[in-house]
Structure 1
Amino acid sequence: MLLTVDVGNTNVVLGVFKNRKMIGSWRMATDNKRSADEYGVIIDQMFRHDGISPKDIDDAIISTVVPSLLFTLQHMCLKYFNITPLVVETGIKTGLKIKCDDPRQIGSDRIVNAVAAHAKYDGPLIVVDFGTATTFCVVTEDAEFLGGAIAPGIKTSATALFEHTAKLPNVDLETPNRVICKNTIENMQAGLIFGQMGLAERIIEGMKKELVSDYGKKYEDIKVIATGGMATMVDSGVSCIDVIDRRLTLDGLVEVYEKNKAVRKK
């Protein structure tokens, strides 16, 4: 079985796959202070709860946007699974043609999402990840990664308002019934959630126009694939998203692993 590990700024998401079929998935908070042993024990308990033994894991792949956790999780894999994991980093085979100024600056999560989206939905594509940051990536049918955009995620924006203003509270992320709201909490919810919806619509529309004018794509052929914890909330108020795929990153890790497994030395 293959262990996939997606380390985000907010959560670490795990998946176990057998012959490309997902056996289970788990989520835990990202914590820089946890040791390799703490991560190992927590993961071991989650696996055993669902009937999976560490001995069942044959290999592992890690994607992280938190560099300080990479060594910790590599050590965890070695100690608890006797595996040196494959890491999504510069030089790994992805099948993508990166058309950006400096490919090293692109987050591994964006690369993995693009790989999965192209494998599952072909192209041209706009891939949106509504996470700690909201990222937009453009991939052609020829697997060219053209670039994209990055904006603060809803939770990040909410935290910024709470921490950098004297009187605004920390609010639950719920969609209000109106845009003209009568109290501070709903005012903030409207600005955060409807603002993210408007941001998504504006950027996606602009990207589609550029794909048509600069790259000769047909507007109606451009698919928009969304993933991330806030995707469903944003999708409820927009018409620009075609598919929500919650497994996109984990499936992308499987795709990247398959492209590199022939040269693996565990």
Structure 2
Amino acid sequence: MKKTLCFDFGNSRYKCGVMEAGFFKKEIILDGSSEEINHILEVEKPEKTILSSVVRHDEKIEEILAAGSSFHKVTYQSKMDISVPSGQEKTVGSDRWAMLAGAMNLFPKQHNLIIGLGSCITFNFINKFNQFLGGSISPGLNMRLKSLQHYTAQLPLVEPDWNFPLIGYDTRTNILSGVIGGMSKEIDGIVDEYKVKYNKFNVLLTGGDLPFFVPHIKNKIFADPYLIYKGLYFISEKNA
């Protein structure tokens, strides 16, 4: 069965999604070493590989992928059938291209708002004509939690947790309610603003921090932690 390895090198983690015949099979968390990439290629034996990277990674990795498979690296020049009316396609990160491609192929000819919950929160709106109109970027969950510790004298660094009360009863639950509860209201509020402008659109949530927010979002959403891999697969099919 045809196998594609979809590599996602982000600010927080290096990951790989294994796709077989277009279906997601598993996720592999990576350390980012070229030796590990070699090992994965030997074990998985993919026909195609594709890389989305928003960080400076070992350039040898691309050489390894190109030598062991039909390889493509996502850039604004990749074939995706997505246009950018603002003319700012060079500034769009490869992870955002992957999310857009995933949404566009899962919900074709529909307005889609994709919310990425990773190092940053990104709102990405692609209309039914496959035009990426833009969106917004704000600090992500861990960035906000770390900033509370960094910029105060006494507040601790709190581990994320979806389970917290509205009214925090100690420092930890006060921070969780303020940060995760506040971010959830921020997300709902921005979605509501889009509803004023567009009558009908899909809201897709994805990213590593997805589980912390799903219980608190009031708007109807499609939660897909593996959307970026599906998008990378679709891009790979057009390019690799």
Tell me the TM-score normalized by structure 2: 0.90
- CA offset at residue 101 of structure 1? 4.3
CA displacement, residues 195-243 of structure 1 (integer Å, 9 cap, x when unaligned)? 1101101111112323x3xxxxxx2x21101111222321211222421
Question: Is structure 2 residue 233 aligned with structure 1 residue 254?
Answer: yes
Q: Which residue of 1 aligns with 2:94?
A: 108
- CA offset at residue 83 of structure 1? 3.9
Could you tell me whether the CA contact under 8 Å between 1:4 and 1:14 is conserved in 2? yes
Q: Distance in 2 between matches of 1:73 and 1:248?
A: 23
Gaps of 5+ in 2: none
Q: Which residue of 2 aligns with 1:77?
A: 65
1:1-266 paired onto structure 2 within 5 Å:
1-28=3-30, 35-37=33-35, 39-40=36-37, 44=39, 47=40, 53-54=43-44, 56-66=45-55, 68-69=56-57, 71-78=59-66, 82-83=68-69, 85-122=71-108, 123-175=110-162, 177-210=164-197, 212=198, 219=199, 221-261=200-240
Residues 241 and 128 of structure 1: CA distance in aligned 2, closer, same or farther (over 3 Å): farther
Report the residue type matching 1:74 in the other structure: E
Q: Distance in 2 between matches of 1:175 and 1:25?
A: 22
Residues 226 and 28 of structure 1: CA distance in aligned 2, closer, same or farther (over 3 Å): same
Q: Distance in 1 between matches of 2:83 and 2:239?
A: 16
- CA offset at residue 178 of structure 1? 2.7
- CA offset at residue 176 of structure 1? 5.2
Residues 116 and 76 of structure 1: CA distance in aligned 2, closer, same or farther (over 3 Å): same
Q: Distance in 2 between matches of 1:232 and 1:24?
A: 17
- CA offset at residue 103 of structure 1? 1.0
- CA offset at residue 76 of structure 1? 3.8
- CA offset at residue 106 of structure 1? 1.0
Could you tell me whether the CA contact under 8 Å between 1:126 and 1:137 is conserved in 2? yes
**Matched-pair identity in %:** 22
- CA offset at residue 60 of structure 1? 1.0
- CA offset at residue 244 of structure 1? 0.4
CA displacement, residues 106-145 of structure 1 (integer Å, 9 cap, x when unaligned)? 1111111011101102321110111111111001111111
Could you tell me whether the CA contact under 8 Å between 1:134 and 1:151 is conserved in 2? yes
Q: Distance in 2 between matches of 1:248 and 1:70?
A: 25
- CA offset at residue 92 of structure 1? 1.0
Q: Which structure carries more relative contact order (alpha carbon 8 Å, separation 6+)?
A: 2
Could you tell me whether the CA contact under 8 Å between 1:128 and 1:227 is conserved in 2? yes
- CA offset at residue 86 of structure 1? 0.7
Aligned length: 237
Q: After TM superposition, what 4+ stretches of structure 1 lie above 6 angstroms from structure 2?
A: none
Q: Distance in 1 between matches of 2:157 and 2:133?
A: 37
CA displacement, residues 167-189 of structure 1 (integer Å, 9 cap, x when unaligned)? 11011212454333232221111
Could you tell me whether the CA contact under 8 Å between 1:64 and 1:70 is conserved in 2? no
CA displacement, residues 15-71 of structure 1 (integer Å, 9 cap, x when unaligned)? 222322334321235xxxx5423x336xx2xx59xxx725x22221100111x1162
Q: Distance in 1 between matches of 2:34 and 2:73?
A: 16
Tell me the TM-score normalized by structure 1: 0.81
CA RMSD of superposed structures (Å): 2.1
CA displacement, residues 225-266 of structure 1 (integer Å, 9 cap, x when unaligned)? 1111222321211222421011100010110011123xxxxx
Could you tell me whether the CA contact under 8 Å between 2:76 and 2:92 is conserved in 1? no
